[in-house]
């Protein structure tokens, strides 16, 4: 076996090991993905408002448009305004929690 073939074989073996490690690490973090996604990309409650407005507009009563159209428009307009968490928000919250725990610990010493 030539030196180049041996290097290629070693490289392929290393790639397989790396692939296995990535697969294992993705399994470890799979239970965290959904909560993190909900924090960083929260669902919009306004979608339900616009859906309710559309349903009210489609009902056969003539006066339902008075309620349905504003609900639909407000829901569509507000669904664009969501505030996903940023890394700075997580840091600030962690600082608040750490300060609260420190105060609690000091209160127990008294």
Higher pLDDT, 11 or 46: 11
At residue 49's C-alpha, the angle toward residues 48 and 55, to 5°, is 85
Tell me the two tokens of residue 31.
């239970």
pLDDT digits (tens, 9 = 90+) for 26-42: 777 777 777 777 766 66
Domain contains 66: yes
Answer yes or no: is 68 within a domain.
yes
In a domain, 92, yes or no: no
Give tens-digit pLDDT for 58-91. Answer: 888 777 778 788 888 888 777 776 666 677 777 8
Count of domains for the chain: 1
With bands split at pLDDT 50, 70 and 90, how would you rate the model's confidence at 110? low
**Could you list the residue range(s) of the whole structural domain that residue 70 is in?**
43-82
Backbone angles phi, psi at 53, to 5 degrees: -60, -40
What is the model's pLDDT at position 13? Answer: 92
Does some domain include residue 23?
A: no
**Per this entry, what is the length of the chain?**
110
């Amino acid at each position: 076996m030539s030196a180049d073939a041996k290097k290629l074989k070693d490289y392929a073996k290393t790639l397989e090991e790396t692939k296995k490690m990535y697969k294992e690490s993705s399994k470890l973090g799979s239970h965290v993905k959904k909560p993190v996604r909900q924090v960083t990309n929260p669902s919009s409650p306004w979608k339900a408002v616009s859906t309710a407005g559309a349903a009210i507009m489609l009902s056969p009563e003539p006066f339902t448009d008075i309620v349905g159209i504003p609900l639909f428009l407000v829901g569509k307009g507000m669904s664009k305004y969501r505030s996903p968490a940023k890394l700075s928000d997580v840091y600030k919250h962690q600082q608040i929690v750490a300060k609260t725990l420190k105060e609690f610990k000091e209160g127990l010493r008294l």
